[in-house]
Structure 1
Amino acid sequence: MASISSNNNKASTEQQDNDEQEVFYFAHQPTLEPVTSRLSHISNLTDVSTQKDEESILEDEKTTRRLSAVSDISNASTVHELEFTPEQESDSYGWFIVLAAFLSQVVGLGIIMSWGVMQDYYEQHVYGQESATVIKLSLVGTLGNFALNVFSPFVQILVSTIGIRSSVLLATILSVAGLELSSFTSEVWQLQLTQGILFGGGGSIIFYIGMSSVQQWFSHKKSGIALGISTSGSCFGGLIMPLIITPINRRFGISTCFRILGGITCILYLLSGFLFKDKTTTPSHKKASDEEAGSSSAAAAAAKDVDIKPVETTEKLSLKKTLLSPFKVIQFDVLKDVNFILWCLADIVIELSYYTPLFFLPSYATSLGLKDTKGSSLISITASCNAIGRIFAGMIADRIGHINTVIITGFLAGCSAFLIWTFAYNFVSLVFFAAIFGFFGGAFVTLGPSTTAIITGMDRFKSGYSLFLLVTMVAMFGPNLAGALEAYFTTHYNQEPYLTYKLFTGVGYILGVLVMVVLKWRIHRGRLFSKL
């Protein structure tokens, strides 16, 4: 019994120890709640990390789209046709630039074109009609045209240094001073300095600004019609100015006439200067199809977040940098382009002939016994038809090509000199010649900037056009050369008076057309009937 009791006590003691161990075990075991909390915290961290990764991926995709948009813009030439539109303004302002160029040419070139009327007055009432005197007087108009061209590279530097409107103000001062000082002259050489160099120098500034600005604003569309309207200003000036000059000369004298012309010039130049401005451009895509339009819109939307600065077409440079290094402004490498040289040669040959009828038609009419008013009216007829013809040439050029238009109109102008002026001995036939020659003869002037841009490209256009005007300045001496030839042949060969002027005009145009044909052959590799 004692043994059984001992065993029971031992079993009870073991059971108690086991219970105590079990209680101790469970008392020291970790609860499930902290573990669950930790797992939840880890899960939350994972979710946050995943969310951040997703946001990072979205940001990367957005950045990629931005960079892709910028890349599309910078490489648009390979996918789309790159256009340039003004920042914060419509392309419609370009027509105000056309108006400014038109008004400035009404007086700037209109007065130069009307020099034949002034010269006829001087021959009839002041200096006489001796050959030497006629040549000296014709040199006044020639120097005006010469200054118009020779100063063009300096004008480009001037505009780059002081800006457009300050340059126009300087042009106004020079031109008005030239006309006002002309009213006090008593010698031909004084007229050459005032009316020729001073007035022509001011005209050079505003002429370059007008023509280059129009080509800049309409470089991608409607450049022909815009240039046609702009350059027609000189023709309307040539139409209006003789009608103003002749009655004033008769009633008040030529000194008063110069002063009145100075006032008109001041008003129109200042108005033009108010309208002229640079075109600030930003690149944008031209949509080629509906499918491309969607992607282009998306790219443009993404590109809005990218800081793309507009391109300034005219950068103002310091005077010191400009004077020390004109190569920073003028790209002289265009003179190495054979096509550019051919274009300059063609223009020189044509322009040698262009001014000859304008200078000598009034005196030719009076030599036939016609009144001076009829001689003046011939210049007005030529100018009015020239204005219409320039606008027409611009419209046609946008359709068939600018170089093609120069070739066709030049050929017809040359034929008019050979076939009409050669046999014109009365007022009716002279009117017919003035109308035909005026309509076709000035197209090369209208399309000068656009043809230059075709050859040089817009990146070198301003330098190309200023150098083009400089190189072709020798053509301004066409009337003087024609006058010298006329004096030689009439003196030594008893040739019919004014026949040299007629033949000189026709030959010049035809030779210029032949050079233009060679130029087109080179550009389009023999495809003479292609659009260019």
Structure 2
Amino acid sequence: MQPPQDSSHPISGSGMLSHDSPDSKTPTRSSPSELHGSRAEGSQATIVEPPTILTLNIASVEDVPPNGGYGWVVAVCALLMNANTWGVNASWAIFLSHYLFNSTFPGATQLEYALIGGLSISQALMISPIQSKISRHFGTKMTLLLGSLLVSAAWLTASFATQIWHLFMTVGICFGWGMGLVYITAAAILPQWFSSRRSLAVGIASSGAGLGGLFYSLLTGHLVQQVGIEWTYRVLAVVTLVMNVASAILLKDRNKMVKPVQNSFNYRELGHVEVLLIIAWGIATDVGYVVLLFSLPHYAESVGLSQTQGSIVGAMLSLGLAIGRPFIGYYSDTFGRINMAGSMTALCGILCLAIWMPAKSFAVLIVFAIPAGAVTGIFWGTCTAVIAEVVGLKRLPTVFGIICVALVTPTTFAEPLGLGLASASGYLTSQIFVGCLYLLGAAFVLLLRTWKITEIETKATLENLDIDSGGLRTKPVGWLKLEKVFAWQRV
């Protein structure tokens, strides 16, 4: 038997001794006195007590997700939560169009209305550090139930709004906080249940944003004309409360098995280039997503279509999202999660420049809205699977929280920026702006892909040389090379 290394040798984060090897022999049992004597002699020790080895090996076994089973129930719950947070948030485009054309609040500016939609999304992201603390101290279900109550309370109190600042407090801040508590909590839990089917599960769950957007856009457009703004808000309050609470009760986490790192804000993650690339991808695509989501119905009316036709165009965008997300998730598991994320991001930019720009009729806008809807929110449809692929499940909650905080400012001012460009020089400028943002986001994913390919090659080289990294992170070197950019590999 080979003599073990010094007892001060570090133990990796997974719990394995870095000097363990598969061909090491099983040591013989030693008495406590012999073990004590061997520790005193330092490097001359040759006997290690088996229970110590057994404990470390058990701790080192990485959790294997069930890859199905109750995980599909969790996926359905996440789908419903997406429908009743991101989905119902899409109905703000209908409210926005109504407010802009009817001047509901005298003195309110277009910029103020636009800020409300962006504020709801940015607040959902900004609450990420608080969500982490609440989830850690009170558990998953209490966090989801609190978020569900805030979402419903936001729509209910908005029905009594008499001034524009009331909407800032209700639809902007209160709803945003509730959406953040529900969405961020569920998004971090779902990947715990899957391995090879992870992207498919995430795609199915994220399609809820499209299904909800389709349902609530049509419902809101109909109710506003039939019963008015106030009762429309109240209907939304009741429906979202019932659906979110039921989903919160059924959803289960696997935190005891996965043992995720739940630091609310670990600034050291910003020192990793892969995290910065994901953030850059998120900023570029999220700004484009917000502008497109909230501007499309108003753009339809600006080219001479009716309010009903505008709401249908917005609903078709959500329909495309609902149809496209599961397919993107399925093929992400087949062709690579980062590969699909980058190609679909680029596709959205091409669709904006090639179809949305010349679209002036209802039929052409429908032709644009359905395929664009499938890829417009590609970041939120694929980011958790991509993050898990890049940093692992244990770091997923912390890195996801960092990314959410980084996107607060861009999402707050995205829609005001889009409407400002449209007011200053027409919607053509906004269309070009959105298309170029998605192409820029695709470029960042391409860089992330080269980083991941280099990391895989680095790990493979160490394994071939029979070098044990001791569980430490492998830092890719020389990943910014042209041949890496065009390398064909599933990542």
1:75 Cα offset (Å): 5.0
Look up the match of 1:241.
Answer: 216
Q: Is the 8 A contact 1:123 1:129 kept in 2?
A: no
Counterpart pick for 1:313 among 220, 234, 259: 259
Q: Is the 8 A contact 2:260 2:396 kept in 1?
A: no
Distance in structure 2 (CA, Å) of the matches to 1:223 and 1:71: 29
Q: Deviations over 1:188-212 (max 9, x none)?
A: 2211110110011111000011101
For the pair 1:446 / 2:381, whether they are aligned, the reply is: yes
For the pair 1:262 / 2:237, whether they are aligned, the reply is: yes
Distance in structure 1 (CA, Å) of the matches to 2:372 and 2:115: 23
1:72 Cα offset (Å): 4.9
1:314 Cα offset (Å): 6.3
- Within a 5 Å distance, the mapping from 1:413-432 to structure 2 comes to 413-432=348-367
Look up the SS of the partner of 1:260 in the other structure: helix
Look up the match of 1:351.
Answer: 286
Look up the match of 1:472.
Answer: 407
Look up the SS of the partner of 2:162 in the other structure: coil
- Within a 5 Å distance, the mapping from 1:490-505 to structure 2 comes to 490=425, 497-505=426-434
- Within a 5 Å distance, the mapping from 1:341-380 to structure 2 comes to 341-380=276-315
Look up the match of 1:513.
Answer: 442
Q: 1:280 to 1:412 in 2, by over 3 A?
A: closer
For the pair 1:122 / 2:102, whether they are aligned, the reply is: no
Distance in structure 1 (CA, Å) of the matches to 2:143 and 2:57: 38
Distance in structure 1 (CA, Å) of the matches to 2:65 and 2:307: 51
Look up the match of 1:278.
Answer: 253
1:126 Cα offset (Å): 3.5
Which amino acid is 2:443 matched to? L
Which amino acid is 1:222 matched to? R
**TM-score normalized with structure 2 length:** 0.80
More helix by share: 1
Q: Is the 8 A contact 2:105 2:163 kept in 1?
A: no
Which amino acid is 1:175 matched to? V
Look up the match of 1:169.
Answer: 145
For the pair 1:196 / 2:172, whether they are aligned, the reply is: yes
1:58 Cα offset (Å): 12
1:101 Cα offset (Å): 1.0
Q: 1:170 to 1:72 in 2, by over 3 A?
A: closer
Look up the SS of the partner of 1:369 in the other structure: coil
Counterpart pick for 2:199 among 224, 229, 250: 224
Q: 1:196 to 1:378 in 2, by over 3 A?
A: same
Distance in structure 2 (CA, Å) of the matches to 1:280 and 1:517: 32
Distance in structure 2 (CA, Å) of the matches to 1:280 and 1:177: 29
Distance in structure 1 (CA, Å) of the matches to 2:386 and 2:214: 26
Look up the SS of the partner of 2:109 in the other structure: helix
Q: Deviations over 1:75-130 (max 9, x none)?
A: 55xxxxx44257xxx95111111111111111111121221111111122233899
Structure 1: tracts of 5 or more residues without a match: 1-56, 77-81, 282-310, 316-326, 491-496
Q: 1:110 to 1:328 in 2, by over 3 A?
A: closer
Distance in structure 2 (CA, Å) of the matches to 1:334 and 1:453: 14
Q: Is the 8 A contact 1:332 1:463 kept in 2?
A: no
Structure 2: tracts of 5 or more residues without a match: 1-27, 32-47, 455-483
Distance in structure 2 (CA, Å) of the matches to 1:184 and 1:518: 49
Q: Deviations over 1:296-335 (max 9, x none)?
A: xxxxxxxxxxxxxxx46369xxxxxxxxxxx955433212
Look up the match of 1:184.
Answer: 160
Look up the match of 1:29.
Answer: none
Which amino acid is 1:123 matched to? L
Distance in structure 2 (CA, Å) of the matches to 1:345 and 1:235: 24
1:344 Cα offset (Å): 0.2
How many residues are matched?
Answer: 417
Q: 1:328 to 1:211 in 2, by over 3 A?
A: closer
Look up the SS of the partner of 1:184 in the other structure: coil
Which amino acid is 2:151 matched to? S
Distance in structure 1 (CA, Å) of the matches to 2:156 and 2:314: 24
Look up the match of 1:101.
Answer: 78
Counterpart pick for 1:482 among 396, 418, 433: 418
Counterpart pick for 1:84 among 64, 67, 70: 64
1:71 Cα offset (Å): 5.7
1:166 Cα offset (Å): 1.2
Q: Deviations over 1:355-378 (max 9, x none)?
A: 212111111111222111111111
Which amino acid is 1:313 matched to? K
- Within a 5 Å distance, the mapping from 1:280-295 to structure 2 comes to none
For the pair 1:149 / 2:125, whether they are aligned, the reply is: yes
Look up the SS of the partner of 1:186 in the other structure: coil
For the pair 1:215 / 2:215, whether they are aligned, the reply is: no
Look up the SS of the partner of 2:64 in the other structure: strand
1:261 Cα offset (Å): 0.4
Distance in structure 2 (CA, Å) of the matches to 1:160 and 1:342: 28
Q: Is the 8 A contact 1:98 1:226 kept in 2?
A: yes
Q: Is the 8 A contact 1:389 1:443 kept in 2?
A: no
Q: Deviations over 1:10-43 (max 9, x none)?
A: xxxxxxxxxxxxxxxxxxxxxxxxxxxxxxxxxx
Distance in structure 1 (CA, Å) of the matches to 2:193 and 2:65: 9
Distance in structure 1 (CA, Å) of the matches to 2:134 and 2:359: 46
1:450 Cα offset (Å): 1.4
1:278 Cα offset (Å): 2.1
1:65 Cα offset (Å): 8.5
Q: 1:464 to 1:58 in 2, by over 3 A?
A: closer
Distance in structure 2 (CA, Å) of the matches to 1:456 and 1:206: 23
Distance in structure 2 (CA, Å) of the matches to 1:71 and 1:152: 34
Distance in structure 2 (CA, Å) of the matches to 1:149 and 1:529: 34
Q: 1:166 to 1:83 in 2, by over 3 A?
A: closer
Which amino acid is 1:108 matched to? T
Which protein shows a greater Rg?
1
Look up the SS of the partner of 2:304 in the other structure: coil
1:143 Cα offset (Å): 0.8
Q: Is the 8 A contact 1:280 1:313 kept in 2?
A: yes
Distance in structure 1 (CA, Å) of the matches to 2:422 and 2:174: 29
**TM-score normalized with structure 1 length:** 0.74
Counterpart pick for 1:110 among 87, 90, 99: 87
